[in-house]
Structure 1
Amino acid sequence: MDTQNVYELITGKLEGWLTAAIEMLPNLVLALLIIVAFYVLAKVIRKLVSNMLSRVTDNKTVTGLAETVLAVLVLGIGLFFALSILNLDGTVTSLLAGAGIIGLALGFAFQDIAANFIAGVLLSIRHPFGIGDIIETNGLFGTVEKLNLRNTIIRTPQGQYMYVPNKVVYENPFTNYTKTGKRRIDLACGVSYGDDLEKAKDIAVETLSSLDLRDESKDVEFYYNEFGDSSINFSIRFWINYNRQPDYWGAQSEAIMALKKAYDDNDIMIPFPIRTLDFGIRGGEKLNTVMDTNK
């Protein structure tokens, strides 16, 4: 093949490409306009989603993620339309098939990460607890320090940080102690069988009713609940305003000290377990007989 033939081949190819480009120019302009239109639409949708989610959750990470995902989805739809206008349907089909295969593979490979991610989004939207709330979940107790898209970070009363997967929190029961701002303290105690039960009840109720830390909107509750080995046992309950764990510990400690002092001042005994040793069991010898024999 000589130089002239090569030149003619190249110029022929270029002319063909130029002719095809000129013929496709209207479609190319239309495709670009579609991409620009979907880009503007993505920005509008992103702003609308931001305004809507800001009313549902304060988690900026979740809001930003939702905005980005929807914006990319809208731009992807615009790109597929543009490719279709350019008669690149085969490319669109290949892209969709490839995206499906990749998505399926990633779903199997990162199913735990995906589960924690989805659980984090749902926890942020439903908002069963917030930063600073005191919760207990799966035997773990502490203050919520942060909720991200993978973990719920809890600080224990001892100061340690625990990273709990969001899926574990979402799928299992948990208790939010600060949701209502109030908490009940239950104290178990007992009085001796020789004491006046009515008097013991009145003194206990009056004593705990005068505590400064008690929530005065709710009455003190007192119930005898069993005949114990060495005492008649009861439960006494009262409510406090609860925002942090020291509120609970402090009120409980003050109640125990006040109840003990009130019973001491009124000669009411809180008995401790008593064990009687009987050496005169049937089939054996009495202790006094053994001692007399050894003299």
Structure 2
Amino acid sequence: METENIYELITGKLEGWLTSAIEMLPNLVLALLIVVAFYVLAKVIRKFVGNMLSRITDNKTVTGLAETLLAVLVMGVGFFFALSILNLDGTVTSLLAGAGIIGLALGFAFQDIAANFIAGVLLSIRHPFGIGDIIETNGLFGTVEKLNLRNTILRTPQGQFIYVPNKEVYENPFTNYTRTGKRRIDLACGVSYGDDLEKARKVAVETLSSLDMRDESKEVEFYYNEFGDSSINFSIRFWIDFDRLPDFLGAQSEAIMALKKAYDKNDIMIPFPIRTLDFGIRGGEKLNRVMEASSNN
């Protein structure tokens, strides 16, 4: 008797499930069609977003991430619609609540990672610098080797690699030396008080104006700026085409050598500090006298 009751119970359950499945079959088919439709829509949107972002940034990491996030978002919406059609609203509510709680917990746990991630996306979209640009940020100077979603990688002139968090780059001022393709070289020098200042200026301007690497679209600028201890000091400026650090260092070196050679040729003196060493017990005694006195004793 008990076996018959169990058999009837199981049979009734199976018949009930079969009846429910037959009744839900139209909704199930509709839900499957919705999932397929959103899957196709996700692929279309992914391709469209990829083409659009490729015109804005060359960073394939950001482009691929944006494509994936949008595709997952569209598929998630389609999945929730399908659950609603199957009268699983409670499941939808539970999933949304769980996702919100998990997202909040992850946000607190990985807020620095999230900040660097968002900063990396914004840097890639706004594109204030590109791969190969020479920048200075947070007291660090180097060439941009790579921009990923967490770090900006710089290579210093000495060859070391520096990993700078994207958040630090985005939130702080930085200098892009290669953005305009031009850079100004400022040289500080001085001439003696006995030299002709007009002649010294003319020689310096003519010398630097004749340099091959100088940008001829901009004039050489010369300014006297102070009376020094042993010289009248000036600064002279000129522009060059700038793409790599050796462009700047080479032009600066050539300018220094050319200016020194021109001043020597025109008998213009560049003073240098002179130090007098006093070896006497009393101030003002000559070194040779001190030596003679010491030898006699």
Same fold flag (TM > 0.5): yes
1: distance between equivalents of 2:218 and 2:264?
27
Amino acid at match of 1:126: R
State yes or no: 1:248 paired with 2:245: no
Q: Which residue of 2 aligns with 1:93?
A: 93
Q: Which residue of 1 aligns with 2:60?
A: 60
Amino acid at match of 1:241: D
Are 1:220 and 1:237, in contact at CA under 8 Å, matched by a contact in 2?
yes
Structure 1 portions without partners, runs of 5+:
279-283
State yes or no: 1:79 paired with 2:79: yes
Amino acid at match of 1:50: G
Residue 149 of structure 2 aligns to a residue whose secondary structure is coil
Q: How far did 1:26 drift? A: 1.0
1: distance between equivalents of 2:120 and 2:283?
72
Kindly tell me: are residues 119 and 16 of structure 1, through their superposed partners in 2, closer, same or farther at Cα, counting changes over 3 Å? Answer: same
Structure 1 segment 181-200 matched on structure 2, within 5 A: 181-200=181-200
Q: Which residue of 1 aligns with 2:128?
A: 128
Q: Which residue of 2 aligns with 1:169?
A: 169
Structure 1 segment 196-275 matched on structure 2, within 5 A: 196-275=196-275
State yes or no: 1:140 paired with 2:143: no
Residue 187 of structure 2 aligns to a residue whose secondary structure is strand
Residue 56 of structure 2 aligns to a residue whose secondary structure is coil
Q: Deviations over 1:200-225 (max 9, x none)?
A: 00000000000111111111000000
- TM-score (norm: length of structure 2): 0.93
Q: Deviations over 1:7-64 (max 9, x none)?
A: 1111100000000111111111111111111111111110110111011000000000
Kindly tell me: are residues 198 and 115 of structure 1, through their superposed partners in 2, closer, same or farther at Cα, counting changes over 3 Å? Answer: same
1: distance between equivalents of 2:121 and 2:284?
75
Q: How far did 1:274 drift? A: 3.4
Q: How far did 1:287 drift? A: 5.0
Residue 107 of structure 1 aligns to a residue whose secondary structure is helix
Q: How far did 1:185 drift? A: 0.3
Q: Deviations over 1:118-143 (max 9, x none)?
A: 00000000000000111111111111
- RMSD of aligned C-alpha atoms? 1.8
Q: How many residues are aligned here?
A: 288
Residue 186 of structure 1 aligns to a residue whose secondary structure is strand
2: distance between equivalents of 1:219 and 1:110?
53
Structure 2 portions without partners, runs of 5+:
none
Q: Deviations over 1:51-93 (max 9, x none)?
A: 1101100000000000000000001011111111111110000
Amino acid at match of 1:256: I
Kindly tell me: are residues 219 and 52 of structure 1, through their superposed partners in 2, closer, same or farther at Cα, counting changes over 3 Å? Answer: same
2: distance between equivalents of 1:91 and 1:260?
83
% identical aligned pairs: 87
Kindly tell me: are residues 53 and 286 of structure 1, through their superposed partners in 2, closer, same or farther at Cα, counting changes over 3 Å? Answer: closer
Q: Deviations over 1:273-294 (max 9, x none)?
A: 235789xxxxx98759xx8xx9
State yes or no: 1:47 paired with 2:52: no
Are 1:230 and 1:274, in contact at CA under 8 Å, matched by a contact in 2?
no
Amino acid at match of 2:251: A
1: distance between equivalents of 2:37 and 2:69?
18
Q: Which residue of 1 aligns with 2:2?
A: 2
Kindly tell me: are residues 6 and 137 of structure 1, through their superposed partners in 2, closer, same or farther at Cα, counting changes over 3 Å? Answer: same
Q: Which residue of 2 aligns with 1:102?
A: 102
Q: Which residue of 2 aligns with 1:281?
A: none
- TM-score (norm: length of structure 1): 0.94
Residue 55 of structure 1 aligns to a residue whose secondary structure is helix
Q: Which residue of 1 aligns with 2:36?
A: 36
2: distance between equivalents of 1:222 and 1:248?
19
Amino acid at match of 1:76: G
State yes or no: 1:20 paired with 2:45: no
1: distance between equivalents of 2:116 and 2:284?
70
2: distance between equivalents of 1:267 and 1:43?
77
